[in-house]
Amino acid sequence: MSSISSDAVGQLFTEGRTFHDWLPKPVEEATLRAVYDLMKMGPTSANCCPARIVFVKTAAGRERLLPCVVPQNAEKVKGAPVTAIIAMDDKFYDLMPKLIPPAPFYRDLFASNKELAESTKFRNSSLQGAYFILAARALGLDCGPMSGFDNKKMDETFFAGSSWKSNFICNIGYGDKAKLFPRLPRLEFEEACKIV
């Protein structure tokens, strides 16, 4: 069994940090497309792929975004080159015949069971959001994911008239390492895990 290098593990996990301050360096559209192309390869239930992303990159987009975030997150968003709204599609199942051709019945299964569709949509778009962070880090970007925003206002502002709903947001760009504070603690294996 092969493994990735310790440098790669560091970039993705042990050295990867949540950034709040950003260098004034733009993120090109080609890089955003490359992040998505990596993210989309992560597994989801029945290959349902419910995540949708809006990349807020322009000044006009940021003006729409800022009123949706809580005040303590405003500066983080203002300084970020790009803020990705990680969303989820209420009607993700409409694309199931394309995403899992051997089993098109999944479309009707999810369409006829709202509770199943809701839990599947939320769980899998969250998984895809995590893949998004790892993909961005793998391509040399830094990330600042956050939940501090008004989902209802975000959805009215960016997704009115659509079946998309916001899950979380993630600033991406090139973080200012000089402004990082010490890493916060994590739970030890014995505190968070059991083997049965």
pTM of the shown model? 0.96
Q: Which CATH superfamily includes the segment(s) 16-177?
A: NADH Oxidase (3.40.109.10)
User: Rounded CA gap, 155 and 61, in Å?
Assistant: 14
Compute the average pLDDT of residues 138-147: 98
Residue 61: partners with Cβ closer than 8 Å, 6 or more residues away: none
Spatial contact of 62 and 56, defined as CB atoms under 8 Å apart = yes
Residue 148 confidence (pLDDT): 95
pLDDT at 1 over 70: no
CA-derived radius of gyration, the chain: 18
Tokens of 15: 């050295």
Spatial contact of 157 and 49, defined as CB atoms under 8 Å apart = no
pLDDT tens digits for range 57-102 = 999 999 999 999 999 999 999 999 999 999 999 999 999 999 999 9
Within 13 Å and on the Cβ side, how many CA atoms surround 15?
12
Residue 107: partners with Cβ closer than 8 Å, 6 or more residues away: 93, 94, 96, 97
pLDDT at 31 over 70: yes
Residue 25: partners with Cβ closer than 8 Å, 6 or more residues away: 81, 173, 174
Angle between helix 29-39 and helix 114-138 axes, rounded to 10 deg: 130
Q: How sure is the predictor about 147, in pLDDT bands with cuts at 50, 70 and 90?
A: very high
> Tell me, what DSSP letter sits at residue 12?
I
Compute the average pLDDT of residues 181-188: 96
